[in-house]
């Protein structure tokens, strides 16, 4: 795995998916350089992973290009 693969800033899970990176940029800050995996992002916002998965689907349906 290449060294430039994004990893979670908390648990160091890697690689992060395009959807995980997109969710960080959409919910935290567009110019982020370090990212949370979806589980750590859910902990950060104190919501469930399922809630975040639903948000990803909503953003996709809205045509947001941050998601695959």
Query: What per-residue confidence (pLDDT) applies to 5?
Result: 79
- Residue among 33, 27, 2, 25 at smallest CA distance from 15: 2
pLDDT at 1: 45
User: Residue 3 has what pLDDT?
Assistant: 54
Per-residue confidence (pLDDT) for residue 41, from 0 to 100: 97
3-62 per-position pLDDT tens digit: 567 999 999 999 999 999 999 999 999 998 999 999 999 999 999 999 999 999 999 999
Domain ranges of the chain: 1-68
Is the pLDDT at 2 greater than 70? The verdict is no
- Predicted TM-score (pTM) above 0.95: no
* Count of Cβ atoms closer than 10 Å to residue 47 Cβ: 13
């Amino acid at each position: 795995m290449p060294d430039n693969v994004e990893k979670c800033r908390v648990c160091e899970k890697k690689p992060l998916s395009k959807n995980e990176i997109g969710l960080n940029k959409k919910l935290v800050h567009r110019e982020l350089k370090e990212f949370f995996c979806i589980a750590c992002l859910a902990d950060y916002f104190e919501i469930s992973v399922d809630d975040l998965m639903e948000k990803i689907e909503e953003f996709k349906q809205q045509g947001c290009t941050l998601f695959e």
